[in-house]
Amino acid sequence: MLSPRNPMRMVLLFVLIFEAIAFLLAIPVMIFVSGIGPGLATALSGGVALLALVSAGLMRKPVGYLLGWVAQVAGVALGFLTPAMFAVGLLFLGLWVLGVVLGRKLDARAPAGGVNSPH
């Protein structure tokens, strides 16, 4: 979990929000391009989108980060239904990992009061 004033928290939040949008937009692709049934496509891709939104809403708590990681893995796993989702899922996973790594570096360099604490 990143410190409350770490600017990378907002980056991770937006990664999750855009990820949810991408997974919702993947539903018709799964149905019309990959031939997945509408119910299954909506349940799985919509479920991962909902998971991403829930984790975005919980980013102030450690469980939000845990759910964020689960959303990343689930997003990549959607590639087993529609191969293009491997690329989309890996893109968001890369952004998520980059945000976490840079956020931890910012926290490590910050004074005891946090990233943006006054001197």
The sign one gets for the Cα dihedral 79, 83, 89, 90 is positive
> Across the chain, how many H-helices and E-strands are there?
4, 0
**The model's pTM:** 0.88
CA gap 91, 64 in Å, rounded: 20
pLDDT in tens, 51-61: 999 999 999 99
How wide is the angle at C-alpha 32 spanned by C-alphas 31 and 34, nearest 5°? 70
pLDDT of the residue at 114: 57
DSSP type of residue 90? H
Average pLDDT estimate for 9-37: 97
Q: In the predicted model, is pLDDT for residue 112 greater than 80? A: no
What's the half-sphere exposure (Cβ side, CA atoms, 13 Å) at 71?
36
Helix (H, G, I), strand (E, B) or coil at 38: helix
pLDDT of the residue at 41: 97
